[in-house]
Chains A and B, each alone.
Chain A
Amino acid sequence: MTTREISPRAAAPLPAHLVDATADESSLRRFLRGLPGVDPVGIEQRAAGLATRSIKRESKLAAIDLAISMVDLTTLEGADTPGKVRNLARKAMLPDPDYPETPHTAAICVYPDMVPTAVAELKGSGVKVASVATAFPAGRSSLDVKLADTKIAVDGGTDEIDMVIDRGAFLAGRYGTVFEQIVAIKQSCGDARLKVILETGELATYDNVRRASWLGLLAGADFIKTSTGKISPAATLPVVHVMLQAVKDWKAETGTQRAVKPAGGIRTAKDAIRYLVAVHEVAGPEWLDPYYFRFGASSVLNDLIMQRRAQLDGHYSGADYVTVD
């Protein structure tokens, strides 16, 4: 493993034991394998228990508004055009034209070549531009290609980069390779915040999710993100529990607060609120902010808007009342 320069962004010094953990491949392996295990039945029960929280009235409206403000409205299709991206950007800025006080979303998320279109459309709105990169979604290419992919987005003016980790390397036990790639991409981000996609569905065990979370945090991730949304299972409540616990423990050990983003599989306002309950009770209220928690989703926004209207109007809304794009 080559020595790396400390990026100016990762300025806060890590405690000694965490620095030691990243000294070389075998130290990293020992650290990651030494993390406490996750009992899958136990964690799924806790997640199920929290999912029965009943959020009503004022707290529900507050939750809906918060959730809307946390959405990274996403389009990642081969068929994306500038027109599609512009429509998405408009929707992100003004999700419900009949209720203009509805908060705007946190960001829109697009492929690197669509970044300039997004930036132009969202100028001055407060909605950020996030771009996937690093041979998204599979991540199966050389580091050079991944860096070049990232550069397209950064040069285009993106605020955030959503990279994918090398799952093949992770499952083959080459944690150092995964670590180095994240560090390299982080360095090329400039001022853009880095989201590290773990693709938890391919990691396949909660123990791996915990290890990959810590690996991402050690390498300088601003966000740890569950999924590309391109395979199933994507984000689930128990997986996000593990990740929320990781950022909570990270803060306890380093004093630095990092962020979490579930992506994929969040379809309804009810789903979104369940995630907010998990954030509230597992990590803590300090994470209830778009800076520290995002939803990678598209269809959930319309359900959030309809639920918001139902709270305000006193009756259920319908699909004809919210825009498709």
Chain B
Amino acid sequence: MKWEYSAAPESSAIADIKDRYMPFIDGAFKEGSGEDRDTINPGTGNRLSTVSTVDAADIDRAVKAARRAYENVWSEMPGAERGKYLFRIARLIAERSRELAVVETLDNGKPIKETRDFDVPATAQYFFYHAGWADKLQHLGLGPAPRPLGVAGQVIPWNFPLLMAAWKIAPALAAGNTVVIKPAETTPLSILVLAEIIADADLPPGVVNIVAGAGDVGSALVNHPGIDKVAFTGSTAVGRRIQRELAGTGRKITLELGGKGANIVFEDAAQDQAVEGIINGIFFNQGQVCCAGSRLLVQESIAEEFIERLKQRIETLRVGDPMDKNTDVGAINSEAQLGRITALMKAGIAEGADLWSSSCPLPKNGFYLSPSIFTNATPSMRIAREEIFGPVLTTMTFRTPDEAVTKANNSPYGLSAGVWTEKGSRAMGMASALRAGVIWDNTFNRFDPAASFGGYKESGFGREGGPAGLAAYLDTDDEAVMP
């Protein structure tokens, strides 16, 4: 019997997308003095809404508001009270979770199944977790009363707009800092709905300020002299530039940059679950994840059979309208990103790797790409070294565990790695030997606010989540200085 799933669209009415959104500065939504920017729904390619952006004067206002709020209100407030604001925000997020999920899917292009079941619940949990730390900072091993850094300037990417906002705002506030934060230019909406929630929670004005705009706004923000701490998540290229621009300023920085994660499958892996893990590793969020398992290193003895299973499983992935509840793989975030991915795919073909793509039909409108695998790739190819940031897996083989370690570590990146083996001692040994900030044994893409996340080498420095993540927003310079 041929059984087609009918379309099962989530209703977009609950999102109540406005025609225009404005920056949130000093507790109010006010017009910015920058150019208006349209934001597109990548699932359809159509305009979704318009956002008023900021100029340098607005950024200055925002930083000053954050400074005032820091000095007069937030740094004076007992931690327990700060925590209660964060708990409120967590609960409000949970209450408006369906709305937030729909907004995020419409603006980003990721499937509603993912925003509903992962992005939004994780966002609420992130605020909830950090709320509890606000009055317990003395237990971090940083002294009896660790001081916050002051005003944090934060720039976040388009791949998990709402979740990244939580990853930045929650720890900063829990530690006693105030923030000025800029969402990515293609995904400004969900954080501006979060701003409504923040206002409903009665958070004192100026504690959180949201400025919308493009790369120039981000640059102006991180370079603003009134910022004590910079936190950036985005590409390694931009991260390097920020670190260079801030050289000599004494400003604290944390960077969460790119990756080329190795997903390593041993011959004794639980094969069917390893297939699921590889799929999740590269097609979750359309592969637009810094910690994506974008390199498959499969033991040569099972490579042929394993790749065959992978292809069969990929053929069952449903690519299409992100608002359809049965969609597994949604739209690429923007036309520009689609162009970057296909350019690297062309390079892969030119360099001699074999490309296989799913035969799933793609919607006519919107920015879509068939899930793809490159086989017969070698470590020297661009597709094996450069971050593609799309639903494209590069596959290579290895013979022995040592070789797997060497190949996995042979990268300027070091954000994540996956290990698939049933042998416990090998799983633990690999976890030890792999130079990456997050090691997933027999699983992939697991996140939790209690489990610190961040990279080695050019994947960045500093951690988010857990006690290590909080330390990034506190003064850890405990060295005595000469009077």
Contacts and interface: CB of A to CB of B under 8 A. Distances in A.
Interface of A: 36-39, 41-43, 45-46, 52-60, 62-63, 66, 245, 276, 280-281, 285, 288-289
Interface residues of B, number: 24
Contacts of B7: 56
A46 B276 contact: yes
6 contacts: A36-B269, A39-B270, A39-B442, A42-B276, A42-B277, A53-B5
A45 B113 CA distance: 14
Contact of B273 (A38, A55, A57, A289): A38
Contacts of A37: 268, 270, 422
Contacts of A53: 5, 325-326
A54 B326 contact: yes
Contacts of B479: none
B403 interface: no
Nearest to B267: A36
Given A42-B442, A62-B3, 20 more contacts: A36-B268, A36-B269, A39-B273, A41-B442, A41-B443, A42-B273, A42-B277, A43-B272, A46-B276, A53-B5, A54-B8, A54-B325, A55-B5, A56-B6, A56-B7, A59-B5, A60-B6, A63-B3, A245-B272, A276-B3
B81 interface: no
Interface in B440-456: 442-443
Contact of B272 (A38, A56, A289): A38
A285 B316 CA distance: 11
B276 A52 contact: no
Contact of A66 (B3, B272, B326, B443): B3
Contacts of A58: 6
Contacts of B117: 52
A155 to B, nearest CB: 34
Contacts of B1: 62, 66, 285, 288-289
A307 to B, nearest CB: 15
- Interface class of chain B by DSSP: loop
B16 interface: no
Contacts of B325: 52-54
Nearest to B441: A39
A59 to B, nearest CB: 4
A59 B442 CA distance: 35
A170 B422 CA distance: 22
A46 B316 CA distance: 13
6 closest cross-chain pairs (CB), A and B: A42-B273, A54-B8, A54-B325, A39-B273, A39-B270, A36-B271
A288 B2 CA distance: 8
A57 B9 CA distance: 12
Nearest to A241: B272
B3 A36 contact: no
Nearest to B271: A36
B113 A55 contact: no
Interface in B176-209: none
Interface in B321-360: 325-326
B19 interface: no
B478 interface: no
Contacts, number: 67
B216 interface: no
A276 B422 CA distance: 30
Interface of B: 1-8, 113, 117, 268-273, 276-277, 316, 325-326, 422, 442-443
A56 B324 CA distance: 11
Given A36-B272, A52-B117, A288 B3 contact: yes
B39 to A, nearest CB: 27
A37 B276 CA distance: 14
Contacts of B2: 285
Contacts of B270: 36-39, 42
A279 to B, nearest CB: 9
A45 B442 CA distance: 12
Contacts of B271: 36
Contact of B6 (A42, A59, A280, A285): A59
Contacts of A42: 270, 272-273, 276-277, 442-443
A11 B275 CA distance: 33
Nearest to B422: A37
Contacts of B6: 55-60
A63 B117 CA distance: 25
Nearest to A36: B271
B237 to A, nearest CB: 35
Given A42-B442, A56-B8, A280 B273 contact: no
A36 B269 CA distance: 7
B3 A280 contact: yes
Contacts of B326: 53-54
B207 to A, nearest CB: 37
A121 to B, nearest CB: 28
Nearest to B116: A52
A41 B325 CA distance: 23
A190 to B, nearest CB: 29
Contacts of B422: 37, 39
Nearest to B421: A37
Contacts of B113: 52
A46 B276 CA distance: 8
Nearest to A62: B3
A280 to B, nearest CB: 6
Contacts of A280: 3
Contacts of B8: 54-56
B443 A281 contact: no
Contacts of A245: 272
Contacts of A289: 1
Contacts of A52: 113, 117, 325
A113 B221 CA distance: 83
A285 B443 contact: no
A156 B245 CA distance: 88
A231 B6 CA distance: 36
A54 B271 CA distance: 27
Contacts of A281: 316
Nearest to A55: B5
Contact of A59 (B4, B272, B273, B277): B4
Contacts of B268: 36-37
Nearest to A248: B312
B425 to A, nearest CB: 15
A105 B468 CA distance: 60
A113 to B, nearest CB: 35
Contacts of B316: 281
Contacts of A66: 1, 3
Nearest to A288: B1
Contacts of A59: 3-6
Nearest to A42: B273
A43 B422 CA distance: 14
